[in-house]
Amino acid sequence: MDKYILETKNLTKIFGKQKVVDNISLKIKKNSVYGLLGPNGAGKSTTLKMITGMIHKTSGEITFEEHQWTRNDLSDIGGLIEVPALYENLSARENLKVRTLLLGLPDSRIDEVLEIVDLKDTGKKKSGQFSLGMKQRLGIAIALLNNPKLLILDEPTNGLDPLGIQELRDLIRSFPEKGITVILSSHILAEVEQTADYIGIIHNGELKYQNRMNHGDNLEKLFMDVVKSGKRA
Ligand SMILES: Nc1ncnc2c1ncn2[C@@H]1O[C@H](COP(=O)(O)OP(=O)(O)OP(=O)(O)O)[C@@H](O)[C@H]1O
Ligand SMILES: [Mg+2]
Protein backbone atom coordinates (compact mmCIF):
# COMPACT_ATOMS: atom_id res chain seq x y z
CA MET A 1 0.00 0.00 0.00
CA ASP A 2 1.28 3.42 -0.90
CA LYS A 3 1.42 5.78 2.03
CA TYR A 4 -0.16 9.18 2.23
CA ILE A 5 2.40 11.95 2.54
CA LEU A 6 -0.28 14.43 3.51
CA GLU A 7 -3.82 14.15 4.80
CA THR A 8 -6.21 16.80 5.98
CA LYS A 9 -9.19 15.97 8.15
CA ASN A 10 -12.11 18.36 8.25
CA LEU A 11 -9.78 21.23 7.50
CA THR A 12 -11.70 24.48 7.83
CA LYS A 13 -10.93 28.17 7.42
CA ILE A 14 -13.34 30.91 8.32
CA PHE A 15 -12.68 34.52 7.29
CA GLY A 16 -15.08 36.77 9.18
CA LYS A 17 -18.43 35.07 8.67
CA GLN A 18 -17.46 33.23 5.49
CA LYS A 19 -16.51 29.54 5.66
CA VAL A 20 -14.00 29.59 2.84
CA VAL A 21 -12.69 26.06 3.42
CA ASP A 22 -15.37 23.76 4.78
CA ASN A 23 -14.34 20.44 6.36
CA ILE A 24 -11.97 19.40 3.60
CA SER A 25 -10.37 15.95 3.91
CA LEU A 26 -7.62 15.47 1.34
CA LYS A 27 -5.59 12.31 0.88
CA ILE A 28 -2.33 12.81 -1.00
CA LYS A 29 -0.42 9.66 -1.97
CA LYS A 30 3.37 9.73 -1.78
CA ASN A 31 5.16 10.23 -5.09
CA SER A 32 2.09 11.20 -7.03
CA VAL A 33 0.83 14.36 -8.69
CA TYR A 34 -2.45 15.53 -7.14
CA GLY A 35 -4.48 18.07 -9.06
CA LEU A 36 -6.71 20.32 -7.00
CA LEU A 37 -9.43 21.74 -9.20
CA GLY A 38 -12.11 24.29 -8.59
CA PRO A 39 -13.64 27.47 -9.95
CA ASN A 40 -12.39 30.94 -8.97
CA GLY A 41 -12.91 31.55 -5.30
CA ALA A 42 -13.47 27.85 -4.50
CA GLY A 43 -10.91 27.84 -1.70
CA LYS A 44 -7.89 26.25 -3.42
CA SER A 45 -5.28 28.86 -2.50
CA THR A 46 -6.64 29.13 1.04
CA THR A 47 -6.31 25.36 1.49
CA LEU A 48 -2.75 25.38 0.16
CA LYS A 49 -1.83 28.38 2.33
CA MET A 50 -2.77 26.40 5.44
CA ILE A 51 -0.61 23.47 4.34
CA THR A 52 2.37 25.75 3.65
CA GLY A 53 1.96 27.59 6.95
CA MET A 54 1.13 30.96 5.40
CA ILE A 55 -2.15 31.18 7.33
CA HIS A 56 -3.56 29.40 10.37
CA LYS A 57 -6.38 26.90 10.07
CA THR A 58 -9.61 27.60 11.94
CA SER A 59 -10.17 23.91 12.75
CA GLY A 60 -9.46 20.40 11.54
CA GLU A 61 -6.23 18.46 11.25
CA ILE A 62 -3.29 18.29 8.92
CA THR A 63 -1.17 15.14 8.97
CA PHE A 64 2.23 15.10 7.29
CA GLU A 65 4.02 11.76 6.93
CA GLU A 66 1.67 10.23 9.46
CA HIS A 67 2.27 12.70 12.26
CA GLN A 68 0.48 15.87 13.19
CA TRP A 69 1.75 18.71 10.97
CA THR A 70 3.92 21.29 12.71
CA ARG A 71 5.89 24.22 11.34
CA ASN A 72 9.02 22.05 11.49
CA ASP A 73 7.58 20.08 8.58
CA LEU A 74 7.98 23.14 6.39
CA SER A 75 11.62 22.08 5.95
CA ASP A 76 10.21 19.21 3.84
CA ILE A 77 7.55 21.25 2.04
CA GLY A 78 8.20 23.65 -0.83
CA GLY A 79 5.55 26.01 -2.07
CA LEU A 80 4.76 28.42 -4.83
CA ILE A 81 1.46 30.06 -3.92
CA GLU A 82 -0.20 32.53 -6.30
CA VAL A 83 2.79 34.55 -7.59
CA PRO A 84 6.48 33.95 -6.86
CA ALA A 85 7.96 36.40 -4.37
CA LEU A 86 11.04 37.59 -6.26
CA TYR A 87 13.56 40.33 -5.67
CA GLU A 88 13.01 41.93 -9.06
CA ASN A 89 16.32 43.80 -9.09
CA LEU A 90 18.27 40.57 -8.52
CA SER A 91 19.23 37.86 -11.02
CA ALA A 92 17.96 34.28 -10.77
CA ARG A 93 21.16 33.18 -9.06
CA GLU A 94 21.10 36.12 -6.63
CA ASN A 95 17.46 35.44 -5.74
CA LEU A 96 18.42 31.87 -4.88
CA LYS A 97 21.54 32.98 -3.00
CA VAL A 98 19.48 35.16 -0.66
CA ARG A 99 17.37 32.14 0.20
CA THR A 100 20.21 29.66 0.63
CA LEU A 101 21.71 32.11 3.12
CA LEU A 102 18.42 32.38 4.98
CA LEU A 103 17.87 28.63 5.00
CA GLY A 104 21.50 27.72 5.72
CA LEU A 105 21.79 25.63 2.54
CA PRO A 106 24.98 25.00 0.54
CA ASP A 107 25.62 27.14 -2.56
CA SER A 108 25.83 23.96 -4.65
CA ARG A 109 22.07 23.67 -4.38
CA ILE A 110 21.67 26.86 -6.45
CA ASP A 111 23.13 25.25 -9.58
CA GLU A 112 21.13 22.09 -9.00
CA VAL A 113 17.78 23.88 -8.93
CA LEU A 114 18.71 26.20 -11.81
CA GLU A 115 19.47 23.09 -13.82
CA ILE A 116 16.16 21.44 -12.91
CA VAL A 117 14.08 24.43 -14.02
CA ASP A 118 16.35 25.18 -16.99
CA LEU A 119 17.37 28.70 -15.96
CA LYS A 120 21.14 28.23 -15.94
CA ASP A 121 21.85 30.61 -18.78
CA THR A 122 20.08 33.74 -17.57
CA GLY A 123 23.31 35.29 -16.27
CA LYS A 124 23.01 38.79 -14.85
CA LYS A 125 19.53 39.43 -16.19
CA LYS A 126 17.33 40.81 -13.42
CA SER A 127 14.35 38.65 -12.56
CA GLY A 128 12.08 41.68 -12.98
CA GLN A 129 12.91 41.51 -16.68
CA PHE A 130 12.07 37.82 -16.96
CA SER A 131 9.12 36.60 -18.98
CA LEU A 132 6.17 35.25 -16.99
CA GLY A 133 7.26 31.67 -17.67
CA MET A 134 10.79 32.36 -16.47
CA LYS A 135 9.43 33.97 -13.31
CA GLN A 136 7.27 30.92 -12.64
CA ARG A 137 10.24 28.63 -13.17
CA LEU A 138 12.35 30.72 -10.79
CA GLY A 139 9.50 30.48 -8.27
CA ILE A 140 9.60 26.70 -8.61
CA ALA A 141 13.40 26.74 -8.23
CA ILE A 142 12.98 28.64 -4.94
CA ALA A 143 10.37 26.11 -3.79
CA LEU A 144 12.77 23.26 -4.62
CA LEU A 145 15.78 24.70 -2.78
CA ASN A 146 15.19 22.84 0.47
CA ASN A 147 14.83 19.48 -1.32
CA PRO A 148 11.16 19.18 -0.40
CA LYS A 149 9.35 15.87 -0.23
CA LEU A 150 6.14 17.73 -1.00
CA LEU A 151 5.96 20.50 -3.58
CA ILE A 152 2.88 22.71 -3.65
CA LEU A 153 2.23 24.66 -6.83
CA ASP A 154 -0.74 27.00 -6.93
CA GLU A 155 -1.76 27.75 -10.52
CA PRO A 156 1.79 27.28 -11.79
CA THR A 157 0.91 27.74 -15.46
CA ASN A 158 -0.96 30.99 -14.93
CA GLY A 159 -0.28 33.25 -17.88
CA LEU A 160 2.02 30.84 -19.70
CA ASP A 161 1.91 30.21 -23.43
CA PRO A 162 1.23 26.67 -24.75
CA LEU A 163 4.96 25.94 -25.01
CA GLY A 164 5.58 27.14 -21.47
CA ILE A 165 2.66 25.02 -20.25
CA GLN A 166 4.05 21.95 -22.02
CA GLU A 167 7.52 22.49 -20.53
CA LEU A 168 6.16 23.00 -17.06
CA ARG A 169 3.95 19.94 -17.38
CA ASP A 170 6.98 17.82 -18.31
CA LEU A 171 8.88 19.29 -15.37
CA ILE A 172 6.05 18.49 -12.96
CA ARG A 173 5.73 14.96 -14.33
CA SER A 174 9.44 14.40 -13.63
CA PHE A 175 9.08 15.04 -9.89
CA PRO A 176 7.47 11.81 -8.59
CA GLU A 177 10.41 9.68 -9.79
CA LYS A 178 12.71 12.05 -7.89
CA GLY A 179 10.75 11.31 -4.73
CA ILE A 180 8.83 14.58 -4.82
CA THR A 181 5.05 14.52 -4.38
CA VAL A 182 3.27 17.41 -6.07
CA ILE A 183 0.00 19.14 -5.25
CA LEU A 184 -0.99 21.34 -8.13
CA SER A 185 -3.97 23.64 -8.19
CA SER A 186 -5.61 24.84 -11.33
CA HIS A 187 -8.85 25.72 -12.98
CA ILE A 188 -7.53 24.65 -16.37
CA LEU A 189 -8.93 21.16 -16.82
CA ALA A 190 -6.76 20.08 -19.77
CA GLU A 191 -3.63 20.89 -17.84
CA VAL A 192 -4.61 18.75 -14.89
CA GLU A 193 -5.91 15.98 -17.12
CA GLN A 194 -2.44 15.49 -18.56
CA THR A 195 -0.47 15.96 -15.37
CA ALA A 196 -2.29 14.54 -12.39
CA ASP A 197 -2.53 11.00 -11.04
CA TYR A 198 -5.26 11.99 -8.58
CA ILE A 199 -7.75 14.80 -8.59
CA GLY A 200 -9.78 16.62 -6.03
CA ILE A 201 -12.53 19.07 -6.94
CA ILE A 202 -13.36 21.92 -4.57
CA HIS A 203 -16.44 24.08 -4.93
CA ASN A 204 -17.70 26.68 -2.47
CA GLY A 205 -15.09 25.53 0.03
CA GLU A 206 -16.24 21.90 -0.03
CA LEU A 207 -14.39 18.90 -1.44
CA LYS A 208 -16.90 17.48 -3.90
CA TYR A 209 -14.83 14.75 -5.51
CA GLN A 210 -11.57 12.92 -4.87
CA ASN A 211 -10.31 9.99 -6.89
CA ARG A 212 -7.61 8.57 -9.11
CA MET A 213 -7.46 10.31 -12.48
CA ASN A 214 -8.44 7.80 -15.11
CA HIS A 215 -6.99 8.83 -18.41
CA GLY A 216 -9.82 8.78 -20.86
CA ASP A 217 -12.10 10.32 -18.23
CA ASN A 218 -13.96 13.31 -19.55
CA LEU A 219 -12.71 15.70 -16.93
CA GLU A 220 -14.80 18.57 -18.19
CA LYS A 221 -18.01 16.57 -17.84
CA LEU A 222 -16.93 15.29 -14.44
CA PHE A 223 -16.10 18.82 -13.31
CA MET A 224 -19.43 20.22 -14.49
CA ASP A 225 -21.40 17.33 -12.95
CA VAL A 226 -19.57 17.66 -9.65
CA VAL A 227 -19.80 21.44 -9.46
CA LYS A 228 -23.48 21.49 -10.38
CA SER A 229 -24.58 18.67 -8.07
CA GLY A 230 -24.62 19.64 -4.42
CA LYS A 231 -22.96 16.43 -3.22
CA ARG A 232 -19.84 16.14 -1.11
CA ALA A 233 -16.99 13.67 -1.67
N1 LIG B 1 -7.46 36.97 3.61
C2 LIG B 1 -8.74 36.81 3.27
N3 LIG B 1 -9.72 37.48 3.91
C4 LIG B 1 -11.01 37.31 3.58
N5 LIG B 1 -11.45 36.50 2.60
C6 LIG B 1 -10.53 35.81 1.92
C7 LIG B 1 -9.13 35.93 2.21
N8 LIG B 1 -8.46 35.12 1.37
C9 LIG B 1 -9.37 34.53 0.60
N10 LIG B 1 -10.62 34.94 0.91
C11 LIG B 1 -11.87 34.50 0.28
O12 LIG B 1 -11.88 33.10 0.27
C13 LIG B 1 -12.50 32.60 -0.90
C14 LIG B 1 -11.61 31.59 -1.55
O15 LIG B 1 -10.45 32.22 -2.02
P16 LIG B 1 -9.22 31.39 -2.62
O17 LIG B 1 -8.17 32.38 -2.95
O18 LIG B 1 -8.86 30.28 -1.70
O19 LIG B 1 -9.87 30.78 -3.94
P20 LIG B 1 -9.20 29.99 -5.12
O21 LIG B 1 -9.91 28.68 -5.23
O22 LIG B 1 -7.74 29.95 -4.94
O23 LIG B 1 -9.60 30.88 -6.39
P24 LIG B 1 -8.78 31.27 -7.73
O25 LIG B 1 -9.01 30.15 -8.68
O26 LIG B 1 -9.45 32.51 -8.18
O27 LIG B 1 -7.35 31.46 -7.35
C28 LIG B 1 -12.84 33.83 -1.75
O29 LIG B 1 -14.19 34.13 -1.56
C30 LIG B 1 -11.95 34.89 -1.17
O31 LIG B 1 -12.55 36.16 -1.31
MG1 LIG C 1 -6.15 30.73 -6.00
How far is ligand 1, taken at its centre, from the CA of residue 162, in Å? 27
The whole-model pTM stands at 0.92
The rounded distance, in Å, linking the Cα atoms of 101 and 169 is: 30
How far is ligand 2, taken at its centre, from the CA of residue 121, in Å? 31
Is pLDDT at 230 greater than 90 in this prediction? Answer: no
Q: Which residues line ligand 1 (CB under 6 A)?
A: 15, 20, 38, 40-46, 187
At 105, give phi and psi (nearest 5°): -100, 155
Atom of ligand 1 nearest to the CA of 82: 27
The rounded distance, in Å, linking the Cα atoms of 37 and 188 is: 8
Per-residue H/E/C for the chain: CCCEEEEEEEEEEEECCEEEEEEECCEEECCCEEEEECCCCCCHHHHHHHHCCCCCCCEEEEEECCEECCHHHHHHEEEECCCCCCCCCCEHHHHHHHHHHHHCCCCHHHHHHHHHCCCCCCCCCEHHHCCHHHHHHHHHHHHHCCCCCEEEEECCCCCCCHHHHHHHHHHHHCCHHHCCEEEEEECCHHHHHCCCCEEEEEECCEEEEEEECCECECHHHHHHHHHHCCCCC
The rounded distance, in Å, linking the Cα atoms of 12 and 174 is: 32
* Nearest ligand, CA 42: 1
How far is ligand 2, taken at its centre, from the CA of residue 87, in Å? 22
Is pLDDT at 199 greater than 90 in this prediction? Answer: yes
Q: Encode pLDDT of 74-117 as tens digits.
A: 999 999 998 888 999 999 999 999 999 998 999 999 999 999 88
Best probe residue, ligand 1, of 19, 45, 50 (max atoms within 8 Å of C-beta):
45
Per the prediction, the chain carries an average pLDDT of 92
